């Protein structure tokens, strides 16, 4: 890692964020199924429980934003639980008998990165 010339003050943090952030969207095979924020979070908790048991279900994470219309959310999870949460989302296949899947749109250790995703640029 090379540094530019000297600045008045500099702080450099390696792995500064204690958290990882995920932008996700839940898709159902059939239309018309809705969840409120609490139900959405409960679904994620049960996904963790299914894959990792009671200890997994106790993993703390936050639903920072939730849009009921599109079933999209931004999640925050501590770094040690990031892979567990992501793999739980991957393995979740249904909700109350309805087939569904999570799409992980973007992940980053920086929350600011989730507000600008160049892969969303559509120019047709």
Partner 1 sequence: MATLRRLRETPQHFLSCVMSSFHDPRPRHRHFVETHYYNYKVSFLIPECALLPKELKSLVTELGPYYLVKNLPLHEFITPEFINTFVKKGKLILSLDKDTYEETGLEGHPSKYSGRKSMRFIVSVDLMELSFNLNSKKYKRTSWSFKEKKPLKFNFLFAWHNTGAAESSLMSYFSNYHIQEHQPRVSGSSLGELPCPVLQSDYIAGLPGVLCGAPELFEWLGAVCSNVDQNNEPHNFISTYCCPQPNTALAKAYLCSITGFLLPEKICLLLERLRHYFDEPKLAPWLTLSVHSFADSPVAWREKEHGFHKGGEHIYNFVIFNNQDYWLQLAVGANDDCFL
Interface with partner 1 (CB under 8 A): 1-5, 7-17, 20-21, 37-38, 41, 60, 62-66, 74, 76, 79-80, 82-83, 106-119, 121, 123
Instruction: CB nearer to partner 1: give 87 or 101.
Output: 87
CB of 29 to partner 1, least distance (A): 26
Instruction: CB nearer to partner 1: give 92 or 114.
Output: 114
The tokens for 61 are 């994470």
Instruction: CB nearer to partner 1: give 30 or 121.
Output: 121
Q: Under a CB-based contact definition with an 8 Å cutoff, are residues 106 and 118 in contact?
A: no
Instruction: Name residues whose C-beta falls within 8 Å of residue 121's C-beta, 6 or more positions apart in sequence.
Output: none
What is the spatial distance between Cα 62 and Cα 75, in angstroms, rounded to a whole number?
6
CB of 50 to partner 1, least distance (A): 19
What is the spatial distance between Cα 27 and Cα 59, in angstroms, rounded to a whole number?
23
């Amino acid at each position: 890692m090379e540094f530019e010339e000297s600045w008045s003050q500099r702080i450099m943090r390696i792995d500064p964020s204690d958290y990882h952030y995920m932008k996700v969207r839940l898709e159902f095979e059939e239309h018309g199924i809705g969840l409120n924020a609490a139900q959405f979070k409960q679904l994620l908790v049960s996904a963790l429980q299914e894959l990792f048991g009671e200890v997994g279900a106790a993993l703390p994470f936050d639903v920072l934003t939730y849009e009921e219309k599109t079933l999209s959310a931004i999640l925050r999870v501590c770094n040690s639980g990031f892979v567990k949460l992501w793999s739980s989302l991957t393995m979740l296949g249904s909700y109350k008998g309805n087939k569904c899947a999570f799409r992980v749109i973007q992940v980053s250790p920086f929350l600011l990165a989730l507000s600008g995703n160049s892969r969303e640029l559509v120019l047709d």
